Amino acid sequence: MQAVFLNTFYAENLSGASYAVNKRLELFLRHQVVAKVMTTKFYLTNRYFFEKHFPNQKSSFLEFIDVLTSTIQVPEKKVLVDENFFNKLGFLLKKNEHKAIDRRSNYVTWTTYPDGRILEVSYHNREGEIVRIDGYDYRGFLSVKSYYEINKDNHLCMTRREHLNQYGQTMLTYYFTLEKKLRKIIWQTDRGFIYTFNSEDDLLITALKQYTKEKSEKYFVVADLFITETLAKLAKLNEQNNVALFVQLHNIQFKETQENDPIRIGYSYPILNNNYYNGLIVLTDRQKKDIDSVVENQNNIYTIPENWFSSQDVKRHRLVKWDDKEDGLVIISARLDKVKQIDQAIKSVIFAHSRVPKIHLEIWGSGPEKEELEKIIQQEDAEDYIFLKGSLDNKSMKKRLSEAQLHLLTSKNEGLPMVLFESQLGQTPSICYDIDYGPDAIIINRVNGDLIAANDTKYLAMRLEDLFKDDEQGILRHYAFNTRATIDKYNESSIWLLWKNLMEQTFKHENYNY
């Protein structure tokens, strides 16, 4: 049996859902199940960023494009910027000018991956217009050729994109209009058969069917996706007898907010059509209860948390000492987005700091709300104790969380926030809005943190003051001590048993060696 996890793409900054996919991948690999993460949206940098974030799982990554171009297994080599590289292309390198020129005064420029490997080479004509951009797979071969034209609005538009195999043969071609819309996609197989597609979703389904064509193999597929059209078409994959397709629901809610605004309604399709899939996997019992209330078939809704703690995590948790934590440090780790409502946390901290001056807040993350948050901090003259710190890699962020005395979560909605697990691992209590979903699955009110009414900034401010005005910090120490119950509840064996039982149930109790 093989597990396949479908995730959209990978970038410099990852969502909590992408970290959750990796935790699941790591869990399956630790229990000797062959498992892969497959991206469903092509970006040339997907592989680089996956390997950057999860170097130990690099052999478990593939693009859906890799399936169609027969490039799943390719020997890796480093292709760097040097004279030899450009000489082979027919250009003379002018490194000081960051270009290489041919005899007809055409020239190329280039970009690299952060580690110096060639990423793209742009071909310019004598007038300086880009006519083609070649993209290089991180493994070191020319994998993409993109051709450009100027449209009627004088904008540069890609009209054709070719995907090549490692031998330079074009296997897949995308055609676009000058209005930047997809016209068609043509796939030529290794045997020379030609197939035409009108949408990338149809191409994705073909790639998955190609990947799972070995009838003697069983495929346990989990879709960590949310776009309605993709999920609807993906249901066709479940028609194969050797494939079991599940949809993982992360932070997307079916129920409506108090303001009656649907939250990312993309997930309403698999919920209302859950019989098209082997099942839906939710993160908390509270979420399952909401979904059970609107579906006819409740027998294929499964609750499996997205995180777990290993024996090494238990050891790290025990090594944390409260007296080593930074006095008065409060942390937020989140995407700087309106749904996170970080402005509410800032205002509460401002009030609490005026009463207990040692309270200071670090906000870790990046996103579209950065300027707005900076403006609030400046207007309130809070630059000396509220800091926008930018992004950290996951390992460093866990360390910084373990150095804090309190973590805040003031989101409008969540799934099962990874940051709450990471805070508990560092013996750092949390104050959370009691929202859908996640906080109440980890935080027991007044035991290992506080659950408070959503948007109650006055109470949040008062609670911050109460917790920190106590010089002995007795309540916070008590909360920190009780985080060990979270570590026990979400231990590796318990979470793996849920997945193991689901796989055995799905494939009729066949005995797999995991």
Which distant-in-sequence residues (6+ apart) come within 8 Å of 195 by Cβ?
A: 186, 187, 189, 206
Distance CA 497, CA 514 (A): 10
- Output the DSSP codes for 336-363: -SGGG-HHHHHHHHHHHHHHSTT-EEEE
Residue 226 burial class via C-beta count within 10 angstroms: exposed 0-12, middle 13-18, buried 19 and up:
buried
Q: How many CA atoms lie within 13 Å of 101's alpha carbon, on the beta-carbon side? A: 11
Backbone angles phi, psi at 61, to 5 degrees: -105, 140
Domains of the chain: 2-67+201-303 (3.40.50.2000), 83-199 (3.90.930), 311-489 (3.40.50.2000)
- Output the DSSP codes for 144-191: EEEEEEE-TTS-EEEEEEEEE-TTS-EEEEEEE-TTS-EEEEEEE-TT
Distance CA 309, CA 109 (A): 47
Place of tokens 């059970």: 292
Amino acid at 379: Q
Q: Is 444 helix (H, G, I), strand (E, B) or coil?
A: coil
Distance CA 102, CA 64 (A): 36
Q: What was the pLDDT predicted at 510?
A: 53
Grouped pLDDT means (10 residues each) for the chain, 514 residues: 97 91 98 98 98 97 98 96 94 90 94 96 94 98 96 91 98 95 97 97 97 95 92 94 94 54 62 93 93 90 96 97 98 96 98 98 97 98 98 94 98 93 98 96 98 98 98 97 98 98 85 50
Q: What was the pLDDT predicted at 83?
A: 93
240-266 pLDDT, tens per residue?
999 999 999 986 555 554 555 544 445
- How many residues are recorded in the chain? 514
Distance CA 205, CA 189 (A): 15
H helices within 61-127, ranges in order? 64-69, 83-89
Q: What was the pLDDT predicted at 253?
A: 56
Distance CA 502, CA 497 (A): 8
Specify the pTM: 0.93
Q: How far is CA 194 from CA 56, 172, 186, 323, in A?
A: 37, 10, 7, 67
The overall longest dimension of the chain from CA atoms, in Å, is 77
